[in-house]
Amino acid sequence: MASQVPSAEDPVTFAGGVLDRYRHVCAFVNGSAEADAVLDPFVRDGVEAGDRLVHLVDTAAPGVPLRRLRRLGYDTGELLVGGRCEVHTWAETYLRTGAFDQEDMLEQLDRMLGASEAPRIRLVADMGWAARDDDVAEDLIEFEARANFLHARHRHVVICAYDTSRFDGAFVIDILRTHPMVLIGGILQENPFFVPPDEFLAERPVRAGV
């Protein structure tokens, strides 16, 4: 009997938990070792399932996801040529216009994720670029909330990886409130602090003193 082709409707396993109803995840990690522990099996499962991998990475280190794939035993050339893996740097995505632009990045995400439901996409975004610019925090928090409207229209998986050693506590708390799923302390859970995007955005003018 032929094996069943994975569907975008199928649940996805991440860090020992299941992503089904919600697939926008804030992954709080502390250093590369902790990131590898959760991302290695997630990437391996994606390749084996026939999913498409999309990585948004440090402009200075675009080879990181490819080294991961080689370490896991995969032919990176075959995956790239076959369209099974894409790597985009921060300079090509979040900072494409020279500075972070919410509207531009939302449009990019919509193009990356909204064109087709198959194959399923596993997008991993290294959010370290935001740690370099203190002025970007408010825009990024609002962007993450607004992205939920986009993510509700598809069944792909989006992992936003934040290294907690690089961000202050107030920022972490606000980012936490914009993701329906959270990985914290190595445990994946439905986020009890999540605020639906319409509610979260409605309170932003009040919080900003407008």
- Peptide bond before residue 197 is cis, with ω within 30 degrees of 0: no
Segments forming the whole domain that contains residue 31:
27-182+200-207
Question: Does the residue 127 lie in any domain?
Answer: yes
Q: What's the number of domains the chain is made of?
A: 1
Question: Does the residue 111 lie in any domain?
Answer: yes
The secondary element (H helix, E strand) that includes residue 55 is strand 52-57
Question: Does the residue 9 lie in any domain?
Answer: no
Question: Does the residue 14 lie in any domain?
Answer: no
Q: What spatial distance separates the first Cα and last Cα of the chain, rounded to whole Å? A: 63
Question: Does the residue 192 lie in any domain?
Answer: no
Contacts 24+ apart (CB under 8 A), 130-136: 130/94, 130/100, 130/167, 131/163, 131/166, 131/167, 133/100, 136/99, 136/100
What's residue 85's pLDDT? 97
Distance CA 125, CA 112 (A): 13
C-alpha distance from residue 38 to each of 30, 81, 124, 139, 147 (Å): 12, 26, 11, 28, 23
Helix (H, G, I), strand (E, B) or coil at 108: helix
The CATH number assigned to the domain holding 63 equals: 3.40.50
Question: Does the residue 157 lie in any domain?
Answer: yes
What's residue 207's pLDDT? 52
CA 8 to chain centroid, in Å, comes to 16
What's residue 7's pLDDT? 59
What's residue 10's pLDDT? 81
Question: Does the residue 39 lie in any domain?
Answer: yes
What's residue 115's pLDDT? 72
Per-residue pLDDT of the chain (210 residues; tens, 9 = 90+): 344 555 556 889 999 999 999 999 999 999 999 999 999 999 999 999 999 999 999 999 999 999 999 999 999 999 999 999 999 999 999 999 999 999 999 999 999 998 778 899 999 999 999 998 878 999 999 999 999 999 999 999 999 999 999 998 889 999 999 999 999 999 999 999 999 999 999 987 755 444
What's residue 132's pLDDT? 85
Task: Please name the residues in contact with 153: beta carbons below 8 A apart, sequence gap of 6 or more.
Answer: 114
Question: Does the residue 19 lie in any domain?
Answer: no
What's residue 209's pLDDT? 47
